[in-house]
Amino acid sequence: MALNISSDLVPQVINDYNAYTEDDLLIGLADEVTLPKIKNKTTSVSGMGIAGEVNSPVPGQFESMEATLNWNTMYSFATKMMNPNKNIQITLRAAMQNDNKNGGYTYKGLRVVLGGRPKELDPGKLKRADTMGSTTTLEVTRYLMEVDGTTVIDIDKFAGRYYVDGEDMRAEINALI
């Protein structure tokens, strides 16, 4: 299930995006979102016949993933997100701009779904005629990324799900447990 890559398109920028709650309601002005880094857990392997040590990734096991949402002001949803008894789900929808070598621009959709629990709220600062720089940090347990309707990453830590480009990376593991 490969992405449809065109030699006529040169990816450029995120033209614009919005953030939504689980109910698909716009939740406010997220100036910038730092998406989670996906980092496999690793284990150090050494022994006879191995020339030294190998830091081996453990497929389907991930280190902590966090996302940070930067708000222009202290939007009310940012404080609601701090309820530790509720899971949070944020959906980001973006228009990715591409330069079409045949002339003009074309756009592809990007959808990112982040689910998890609140870790931190930084209300920011007050300064006349300036944004507050408020931030919310989430511990991400659910991470879905789609490009033009094609799922490229799908991770759900609690469901044991890990797909890359439509391929189940944990199929063999899950069949054995």
- Angstrom distances, CA of residue 96 to CA of 32, 46, 86, 144: 15, 44, 31, 17
Q: Count other C-beta atoms under 10 Å from residue 2's C-beta.
A: 8
pLDDT of residue 28: 63
pLDDT of residue 4: 60
pLDDT of residue 47: 93
pLDDT (tens digit, 9 = 90+) per residue, 33-67?
A: 999 999 999 999 999 999 999 999 999 999 999 99
Looking at domain 9-37+64-176, its CATH class is mainly beta
DSSP 171: H
The list of the chain residues with pLDDT below 70 reads 1-6, 27-28
Q: Which residues contact 29 (CB under 8 A, 6 or more apart)?
A: 71, 72, 73, 75
Q: Domain map of the chain by residue range?
A: 9-37+64-176
pLDDT of residue 73: 83
Pull the structure tokens for residue 154.
């799908």
89 in Cβ contact with 164 (< 8 Å): no
Closest CA to 114 of 11, 27, 16: 27
